[in-house]
Structure 1
Amino acid sequence: MATLWLVAFGLLFTGYLALAGIDYGVAVLLPRVARTESERRLALNAISPFLLGNEVWLVVSIGILIGTLPGLESRLLVGALPLALIAVVGAIVFIVSVHLRGRGAGGSWDTLVFLGGALAAFGWGAVLTSLAGGLPLDASGHVTGTSVSLFAILGGLTMVSLLAVRGGAFLAARTTGAVAERARRAVVTLVLPTGALLILTVATGWASGELDGVRNPALGSALSLVALLGLAGLWRRWAGASVVAVAFVPLSVFAAKYPTPITADPPGTSPSLADLAADPAGLALVTWTAIPLLLLVIAVQGWVWWVFRGRVTRQSPIFY
């Protein structure tokens, strides 16, 4: 059952990056694709119906992690605490700035929208990269330091670029006029450097020895290759290519690490999945209560995306 919930957490966190990543990517691209107030409103209006709903995936995934794999939650958040704080603070700044920008001082709020989105993308990319590498654990399995490293920083920068591509592809499909055209050009421009950053990050992880503890390197590499193929598909404007590019990055990490999601540094002290999981009674309780709630969340999210599936224009209702 612990394996089931590890898979569930991986899929939920992947869904969070694929959906909330749109919001952060739009924020990062906002200064480039929107040059007037009406264009900035159009770009932000494209993500407005989904903004808070997308963050629900983070809440649900962290809740699942705490309830079913408390050992993983405690070690990961302690070992990657500075990076997780960057991500959470960035997400809060981004959401608050989007909501408050209509009350005046638009330029200052727009700057905070950009910074918040960039910090959230960087932080979650760095956290994910830290999970891919090893955490400093003592002989009893307790975290003895943080996982901030060049590898983690490169992972954060890669995620910023990757989510910018995701946000650009979304704007190109959902908006019209100059904003959509600039978003298309931004995506094409970013594809090559994003792919290069992804390759550089993986190469740095292997060269530094931080990826030596992964259990399934071939599977992880294959899924990373799928992410690169998703990026390549954006050149040909393949539908869903940006989703593939973003989703297969965290999937490659979780697949490569299974069944030992926390790789210790030094080797030999890595806790097993059973060590990280809650007791069987707790897992059973969470299973019976969480699955109906998960299905409800998925249904509501699907309904919202269906209702607001059309393009936005300057005549569309303004949310913020």
Structure 2
Amino acid sequence: MELTTVWFALIAILWIGYFTLEGFDFGVGMLLPKLARNEKERRVMYNTVGPVWDGNEVWVLVAGGATFAAFPEWYATLFSGFYLPLLLILVALIVRNLAFEYRHKRDDDRWRKRWDWALILGSWTPAVLWGVAFANIVAGVPIDAEKEFTGTLFTLLNPLGLLGGLVTASLFATHGAIFVALKTDGEIRHRARDMAAKLGVLAAVLAVVFMVWIQMKTGSLASAVAFVLAALALVAGLVANLRGREGWAFIGTFTTIALAVGGLFLALFPDVMPSTTDAAFSLTTTNAAATAYTLKVMTWVAVIFTPIVLMYQAWTYWIFRKRITVAHIPDPEDFTSLAPAETLEK
């Protein structure tokens, strides 16, 4: 197998890791005003992702870096053509991350409320825009002979792109609701389970329409198999959620997102950015790749360091595996003495 194909697959795996892990982070933030009824419940929701959100975010940094090193032409065209939506995602992630770090700094309801909205908006924005971006990457965008994107922001806001945004937002919200049900107990757990059931139906309908559209437009046999398995995994996850089996439900939505993202990359291959102007202008794994020497060095670095990163992240999830309840949250008057959310005992 050529190293260009290997690195295309590795980048796909990095994006799968990002969306499956950061996806439930986004979902928790998106559902904060719906699932939490008081300050202690809001603290519970923050603490479900407190120990892991920053580790989950590393996946997108590595994916971006790997794209830059392995496929510099892809990186250049993507980040110049999609500059505004990617900038909005970056700003949203920064604001969202500040919410985790600064919310507990002052014992003031208005202060905490402002940072709650930072978390909510900072979760909704990338949840929608990532779907818009990937729908356009797979379906194709106008690219000229110089490998330059010739469209505008409104080019990306087409029906398929907007549907992609709705799909990612609804899937992440469902994934996040199930994660809250898995990590909590008491009223918030049952509330999250009910919310997941409602959101899951919406996500399933939107996702099926989106995957059929992509498959008809640019799909392959491999992508069709991945999409069908993704749909089955979502159904299985929703059934498990209805039966109160949150662990299996989380595996179901996790697998759904993994297979759906994998299906998009399978539908994309061997292109990395198809051109709707002329197929001859499309960026592929061949004409967008770095030199063979660069890919060879990167492969050895990945072989050495990837297992270390995976073991560390798995260890983190194991350490913070216990459920959280309002009983673990101090009274409001004690908040000024709290350590950051990720250091609280689970």
State the TM bucket, normalised to the shorter chain.
Answer: over 0.9
Where 1:108 maps in the other structure, the secondary structure is helix
State the TM-score, normalizing by the size of structure 2.
0.86
Q: Which residue of 1 aligns with 2:287?
A: 275
**Gaps spanning 5+ residues in structure 2: where?**
241-247, 330-338, 342-346
State the 1:150 CA deviation: 2.3
State the 1:204 CA deviation: 5.2
Q: Which residue of 1 aligns with 2:262?
A: 251
Indicate yes or no: 2:135 matched with 1:129: yes
Where 2:52 maps in the other structure, the secondary structure is helix
1-side partners of 2:233 and 2:195: how far apart? 16
Deviations 1:198-229 (A, max 9, x none): 233345557xxxx63x3x43322321222222
Where 1:276 maps in the other structure, the secondary structure is coil
2-side partners of 1:229 and 1:83: how far apart? 31
2-side partners of 1:63 and 1:248: how far apart? 23
Aligned residue identity for 2:130 = W
The worse-fitting range, judged by mean Cα deviation, of 94-103 and 116-125 is 94-103
1-side partners of 2:120 and 2:63: how far apart? 25
Indicate yes or no: 2:317 matched with 1:308: no
Deviations 1:281-314 (A, max 9, x none): 1111222223322222111111111111121223
C-alpha contact 2:211 2:227 (8 A) present in aligned 1: no
Aligned residue identity for 1:130 = N
State the 1:42 CA deviation: 0.4
Q: Which residue of 2 aligns with 1:37?
A: 39
Indicate yes or no: 2:316 matched with 1:292: no
Give aligned-pair identity as a percent.
29
Where 2:272 maps in the other structure, the secondary structure is coil
State the 1:234 CA deviation: 2.5
**Correspondences of 1:149-160 after superposition (within 5 Å):** 149-160=158-169
Aligned residue identity for 1:196 = V
**Correspondences of 1:62-77 after superposition (within 5 Å):** 62-77=64-79
Aligned residue identity for 1:43 = M
Q: 1:233 aligns with which of 232, 236, 250?
A: 236
Aligned residue identity for 1:309 = R
Q: Which residue of 1 aligns with 2:209?
A: 200
C-alpha contact 1:227 1:244 (8 A) present in aligned 2: yes
C-alpha contact 1:89 1:120 (8 A) present in aligned 2: no
1-side partners of 2:117 and 2:8: how far apart? 37
**Correspondences of 1:87-106 after superposition (within 5 Å):** 87-102=89-104, 103=106, 104=108, 105-106=111-112
1-side partners of 2:266 and 2:210: how far apart? 17
Where 1:274 maps in the other structure, the secondary structure is coil
1-side partners of 2:284 and 2:113: how far apart? 50
Q: 2:182 aligns with which of 168, 173, 181?
A: 173
1-side partners of 2:6 and 2:328: how far apart? 42
Determine which structure has more spread, i.e. the larger CA radius of gyration.
Answer: 2
2-side partners of 1:4 and 1:119: how far apart? 31
1-side partners of 2:233 and 2:86: how far apart? 27
C-alpha contact 2:237 2:253 (8 A) present in aligned 1: yes
C-alpha contact 1:80 1:130 (8 A) present in aligned 2: no
State the 1:181 CA deviation: 0.7
Deviations 1:222-280 (A, max 9, x none): 21222222221123213411101211221110011111121111232213311111011
State the TM-score, normalizing by the size of structure 1.
0.92
1-side partners of 2:166 and 2:292: how far apart? 39
2-side partners of 1:313 and 1:46: how far apart? 10
2-side partners of 1:181 and 1:267: how far apart? 52
**Gaps spanning 5+ residues in structure 1: where?**
none
Deviations 1:91-112 (A, max 9, x none): 2221111221223311121112
Aligned residue identity for 1:236 = V
The worse-fitting range, judged by mean Cα deviation, of 17-26 and 130-139 is 130-139
2-side partners of 1:56 and 1:71: how far apart? 23
Aligned residue pairs total 314
Q: Which residue of 1 aligns with 2:13?
A: 11
**Correspondences of 1:81-92 after superposition (within 5 Å):** 81-92=83-94
Aligned residue identity for 1:30 = L
Distance verdict in 2 for CA 1:83–1:204, change over 3 Å: farther
Where 2:149 maps in the other structure, the secondary structure is coil
Indicate yes or no: 2:115 matched with 1:112: no
Where 1:278 maps in the other structure, the secondary structure is coil
State the 1:188 CA deviation: 0.4
C-alpha contact 1:15 1:247 (8 A) present in aligned 2: yes
C-alpha contact 1:172 1:184 (8 A) present in aligned 2: yes
